[in-house]
Amino acid sequence: MFIMQMFGWTLFSCMVVSFIEHQVHVRMMHQKNFLARFTDKYQKVYEAHAINHHGHYSAKMFSDEPVAPGEDKEIRLTVHKAPMKVLPLALLIALVSWQGGLILMAVAVFHHWAWNKIHLEMHKPEDRGFSHWPLYKFLARYHWLHHKYPNRNMNVVFPFADYVLGTHVTANADERNELRKLGYLDGAQEEVRTLVKGSKS
């Protein structure tokens, strides 16, 4: 019973963090909201992501050389700040289950850590071990499409909220060719896509 509860809280926390990731990406990183109009800190968040990061990386130039020390083109999140970002919600959850509150904070830390690892590999590839995993390649394809369509595929680590909120986009035939050239799509994945399409028809 305890294990099932922990699994449930972990799944719930991943969904919550997915929605937070989505809304922060949409409302703070891609929109000049009222906070950005009145505070330098939020203005910098918007400029760093929407202008600098998306200005440097596009679908045409999705990655460049491995990152130089102290330079990352706004790729990283600050991991140690993750618990503070979800603390109010974690405290509310703790009223029901203190384990649930702790799990939410742990998932937020994992999210920031994973974002840094996979986002860095996407834009500054160094052939890290996980870069050959099917899950990583799926997330890289997903994020490449975000750089082509900046208002779509807002999730980076937990692509759940995009599906619920209708901001998900899939690659067309030309885009799949581009993704194949980048090494994010291989024959096995194409076979699965063909089987899925065949079963629907």
Q: Is 50 exceeded by the pLDDT of residue 76?
A: yes
**Token pair for 33:** 């909201």
pLDDT of 195 above 50: no
pLDDT value at residue 61: 81
- Indicate whether 153 pLDDT > 90: yes
Q: Which residue has the higher pLDDT, 37 or 106?
A: 106
Q: Is the pLDDT of residue 196 over 60?
A: no
pLDDT higher than 90, residue 48: no
Global pTM reads 0.85
Kindly tell me if the per-residue pLDDT of 74 is higher than 60. Answer: no
Average pLDDT over the chain reads: 87
Among candidate residues 106, 131, 105, the one with its CA nearest the CA of residue 118 = 131
pLDDT at 116 over 80: yes
Contact 182, 93 (CB under 8 A): no
Q: Quick one: pLDDT at residue 63?
A: 82
Q: Are the CB atoms for 124 and 62 separated by under 8 Å?
A: no
Residue 111 pLDDT level (bands cut at 50, 70, 90):
very high
- Domain limits, the chain: 2-126
Contact 38, 63 (CB under 8 A): no
Predicted confidence at residue 187, as pLDDT, reads: 62
Q: Give percent above pLDDT 70 in the chain.
A: 87
Q: What is the model's pLDDT at position 180?
A: 95
- Integer Cα distance of 15 and 158 in angstroms: 8
Please give the pLDDT value at position 192.
Answer: 44
